[in-house]
């Protein structure tokens, strides 16, 4: 597998990395996935903190392969960002893996973590871990290009984790962020390379887009690595096959030229439909609707309950329809949200 340097001072990593958040909670699956990663040279592993029993069950497996991998451990997770929680969960991960080459501050653009106080306090604590030799580089994950760009420009982080995929190919903010990372020597880790699987399926039908198309598009950019998040060993093996794809299989240019046609009618949660005059968060509401098949309806209803403005506030002004680049039937989706959640 091709390797690249993680920023200007980091280790060499395989261009395909592994996100572990969604992997099946099975020791057999975890062991097989990590073994396949080592054998293929997919050395960068993103470790989010999840429930304690997850680490009790799988921590020894990460420790088993840690000498062959570059581990990125997250500082903070979910909706928790208080420093004592960050420290305790981070220490728990390190108790299993020993050292993390990257300490990744989670979602520096989320909620109260947007402000400098949390980030500066976290940086201070993580530098102590650096001095102790327990972490190497300091990174941050984000979804907001402007905040991410400021964090990189400040020189305070060595690595940025940011969602990148073919859907953002012509987004000026995203392209500017990529250039900023290159200019400052920050390692760029591309998360959500398949856009949560949306690039593979549209309106319940396959799009013809493959992992090889998605990943080789990213390899054409100055990214250090990318972290697909497979659920199963089979999904992980399909991702690893992209590393040995033929030139014809990896040629993503025809896909880029027909992307809008392939995804016509499918919401990709790009939020171009917003702002809504009624302040409905249209993209996220549709995302909740799309999670219902195969999801926990009770849980999704609880999430939906957190929206300050519900789908029923829609006046059918159709402004969102005029803005949508994929021709999504937004009114129908909002009506479905009302039926499902209200």
Per-residue pLDDT tens over the stretch 8-49: 889 999 999 999 888 888 889 989 999 999 999 999 999 988
Confidence band (pLDDT; 50, 70, 90) for 51? confident
- Quick check: 275 pLDDT over 90? yes
Q: 76 vs 206, which has greater pLDDT? A: 206
pLDDT the model gives residue 79: 64
Q: What is the pLDDT of residues 117-129, one digit of tens each?
A: 888 889 999 999 9
What is the mean pLDDT of the segment spanning 177-188?
95
What is the mean pLDDT of the segment spanning 180-185?
95
pLDDT the model gives residue 21: 85
What is the mean pLDDT of the segment spanning 291-301?
88
Residue with tokens 């840690």: 66
- Quick check: 202 pLDDT over 90? no
- Provide the mean pLDDT of the chain: 91
Count of residues in the chain? 342
pLDDT the model gives residue 133: 95
Percent of the chain with pLDDT over 70: 98
pLDDT the model gives residue 111: 62
Lowest mean pLDDT among 7-21, 107-121, 241-255, 297-311: 107-121
What is the mean pLDDT of the segment spanning 302-313?
94
pLDDT the model gives residue 112: 61
Pick from 145, 135, 5: which is nearest to 74 by CA?
Answer: 135
pLDDT the model gives residue 274: 92
Percent of the chain with pLDDT over 90: 68
Confidence band (pLDDT; 50, 70, 90) for 66? confident
pLDDT the model gives residue 158: 95
Residue 110's SS3 state is coil
pLDDT the model gives residue 286: 94
**What would the 3-class secondary structure string for the chain be?**
CCEEECCCCCCEEECECEECCCCCCCHHHHHHHHHHHHHHCCCEEEECCCCHHHHHHHHHHHHHHHHHCEEEEEECECCECCHHHHHHHHHHHHHHHCCEEEEEECCCCCHHHHCHHHHHHHHHHHHHHHHCCCEEEEEEECCCHHHHHHHHHCCCCCEEEEECCHHHCCCHHHHHHHHHHHHHCCEEEEECCCHHHCCCEECCEECCCCHHHHHHHHHCCCCCEEECCCCCHHHHHHHHHHHHCCHHHHCCHHHHHCHHHHCCCCCCCCCCCCCCCCCCCHHHHHHHHHCCCCCCHHHHHHHHCCCCCCHHHCCCCCHHHHHCCCCCCHHHHHHHHHHHHC
Element (H, E) at 240: helix 233-240
- Quick check: 113 pLDDT over 80? no
C-alpha 25/C-alpha 260 separation (Å) is 36
- Quick check: 294 pLDDT over 80? no
CB atoms inside a 10 Å sphere around CB 84? 8
Q: What residues have CB less than 8 Å from 18, skipping those under 6 apart?
A: 33, 37, 42, 44, 45, 46, 227, 228, 230, 236
Confidence band (pLDDT; 50, 70, 90) for 115? low
Confidence band (pLDDT; 50, 70, 90) for 99? very high
Confidence band (pLDDT; 50, 70, 90) for 114? low
Q: How far is CA 174 from CA 142, 163, 181, 221, in A?
A: 12, 9, 11, 12
- Quick check: 78 pLDDT over 80? no
């Amino acid at each position: 597998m091709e390797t690249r340097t993680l920023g200007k001072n980091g280790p060499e990593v395989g261009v395909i990395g592994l996100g572990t958040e969604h992997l099946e909670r099975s020791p057999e699956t975890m062991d097989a996935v990590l073994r396949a990663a080592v054998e293929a040279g997919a050395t960068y592993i993103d470790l989010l903190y999840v429930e304690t029993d997850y680490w009790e069950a799988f921590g020894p497996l990460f420790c088993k392969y840690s000498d062959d991998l570059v581990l990125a451990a997250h500082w903070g997770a979910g909706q928790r960002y208080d420093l004592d929680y960050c420290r305790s969960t981070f220490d728990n991960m390190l108790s299993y893996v020993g050292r993390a080459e990257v300490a990744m501050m989670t979602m520096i653009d989320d909620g109260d973590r947007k402000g400098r106080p949390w980030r500066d306090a976290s940086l201070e604590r993580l530098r102590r871990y650096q001095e102790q030799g327990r972490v190497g580089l300091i990174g941050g994950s984000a979804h907001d290009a402007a905040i991410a760009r400021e964090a990189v420009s400040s020189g305070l982080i060595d690595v940025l984790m940011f969602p990148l995929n073919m859907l953002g190919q012509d987004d000026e903010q995203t392209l500017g962020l990529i250039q900023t990372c290159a200019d400052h020597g920050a390692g760029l880790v591309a998360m959500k390379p398949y856009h949560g699987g949306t690039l593979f399926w549209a309106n319940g039908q396959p799009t013809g887009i493959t992992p090889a198309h998605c990943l080789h598009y990213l390899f054409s950019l100055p990214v250090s690595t990318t972290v697909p998040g497979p659920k199963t060993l089979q999904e992980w093996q399909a991702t690893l096959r992209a590393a040995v794809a033929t030139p014809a299989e990896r040629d993503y240019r025809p896909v880029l030229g027909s992307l809008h046609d392939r995804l016509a009618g499918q919401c990709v949660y790009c939020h171009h439909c917003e702002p809504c005059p009624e302040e409905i968060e249209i993209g996220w509401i549709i995302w909740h609707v799309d999670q219902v098949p195969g999801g926990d309806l009770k849980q999704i209803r609880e999430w939906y309950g957190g929206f300050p403005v519900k789908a029923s506030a829609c006046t059918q002004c159709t402004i969102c329809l005029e803005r949508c680049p994929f021709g999504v039937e937004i009114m129908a989706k909002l009506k479905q949200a009302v039926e499902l959640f209200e």
